[in-house]
Homo-oligomer: A and B are copies of this chain.
Amino acid sequence: MERQGNLMQFRPDIKVLDATIRDGGLVNDFYFDDEFVKNLYHANVSAGIDYMEFGYKASKDIFDTTKFGKWKFCDEADLRSIVGDNDTDLKIAVMADVGRCDFKKDFLPKSESVIDMIRVATYINTMPAAIEMIEHFHELGYETTCNIMAVSTAQESDIYMALELLGESNVNVIYLVDSYGSLYPEQVRELSFKYQKIASKYGKKIGIHAHNNQQLAFANTIEACSYGVSYLDGTMSGMGRGAGNCTLEMLMGFLKNPKYKILPVLKFVQNDIEKLKAAGVVWGYDIPYLCTGILNLHPRSAIAAMHDGDKDYSNFYIGLWDKDV
């Protein structure tokens, strides 16, 4: 397990992906105003961010379009209203959930779309469906990732099998996703090493998407990075479901590639994120998230506790013990 790079130089293989709209959209049902999204796009371009994930391309048959903002669906026209033809170095990504999108109907060929990359999110038990989607998107001409969610609850042997399947597919990037924010850096190191082994065998890249339940999102991201993981997800001020994500401002402060700039990120935070917070949108580390993180549970009960203003943390923790029975 050799570390790659050091704290003085930079690795040109590193790519940063901003997932603010996609993961942050889980906080506000994707109701961002256009100014926010435009400002974010321009901030990302200025900061040297490599990819911006706009949201999901969810099925309009499954999800009611009147109950979500437009970034749950990412229509081509809506994307173009923000990025035009996207004549920048920033690439555009969207997420497609296994079982929650009409992937054969809703995606144009790459030549007709401003989307560059499609990220396929899957649990470990739906890998064949994920790979079917990946191959379809590959044929349409897109870059693809496979984000295997909730690996902290998966069997290691299943993870290896999934990685082998992906190795043999046309996917470009395989993501290590700590959905519950329960992994410690030691575990991220082990997993990174195993993902990297498959990556070098099959010529894939590895990415990491971390959650901040135990205030380890940034630490886990740079730990994975130091073992060769090269696609790093972050969001503005960590905006994302529950405890949120690795913050882009921390990543910009850490990464040594001079193309990355922290000031556009800080400006976006002080202007647009502060406005969102002032309007009452809430995310980020708090003790209920720590509790579900420690116990390796989905954060849904913590989100409910935060929503209800329940500060009886000890009772909340005790209540979690029964969740798996």
A311 CA to B274 CA, complexed, in Å:
9
Contact of A314 among B218, B219, B263 (CB under 8 A): B263
Q: Is the CB of A253 within 8 A of B222?
A: no
Q: For residue A187, which residues in chain B have a CB less than 8 angstroms away from its CB?
A: 7
A187 CA to B312 CA, complexed, in Å:
37
Within 8 A of B (CB), among A256-299: 262-263, 266-267, 269-270, 274, 285, 287, 290-291, 293-294
Question: Which of A269, A311, A313 counts the most B-chain CB atoms under 10 A from its CB?
Answer: A313
A214 interface residue (CB < 8 Å to B): yes
Decide yes or no: A263 and B311 within 8 Å by CB, A184-B222, A219-B219 being known contacts: no
List of 8 A-B pairs having minimum Cβ-Cβ separation, nearest first: A219-B219, A253-B294, A266-B314, A266-B313, A270-B313, A267-B314, A215-B215, A263-B314
A interface size (C-beta, 8 A): 42
- Minimum distance in angstroms from A211 CB to a CB of chain B: 13
Q: Is the CB of B185 within 8 A of A219?
A: yes
Q: Is the CB of B7 within 8 A of A250?
A: no
Q: Is the CB of A185 within 8 A of B262?
A: no
Residues of A within 8 A of B (CB): 3, 7, 184-187, 212, 214-220, 222-223, 226, 237, 247, 249-250, 253-254, 262-263, 266-267, 269-270, 274, 285, 287, 290-291, 293-294, 311-314, 317-318
List the B residue with the shortest CB-CB distance to A212.
B215
A-B contact pairs, 27 of them (CB 8 A): A7-B184, A7-B187, A184-B222, A185-B185, A185-B222, A186-B222, A186-B226, A214-B250, A214-B253, A215-B218, A215-B247, A215-B250, A216-B218, A216-B219, A218-B219, A219-B220, A219-B223, A253-B291, A262-B294, A263-B317, A266-B314, A266-B317, A267-B313, A269-B287, A270-B312, A270-B314, A274-B311
A313 CA to B250 CA, complexed, in Å:
13
A218 CA to B220 CA, complexed, in Å:
12
By secondary structure, the A interface counts as: helix
Q: For residue A216, which residues in chain B have a CB less than 8 angstroms away from its CB?
A: 218-219
List the B residue with the shortest CB-CB distance to A217.
B215
Q: Is the CB of B314 within 8 A of A185?
A: no
Q: For residue A218, which residues in chain B have a CB less than 8 angstroms away from its CB?
A: 214-216, 219
A267 CA to B254 CA, complexed, in Å:
36
- Minimum distance in angstroms from A322 CB to a CB of chain B: 15
A263 CA to B222 CA, complexed, in Å:
31
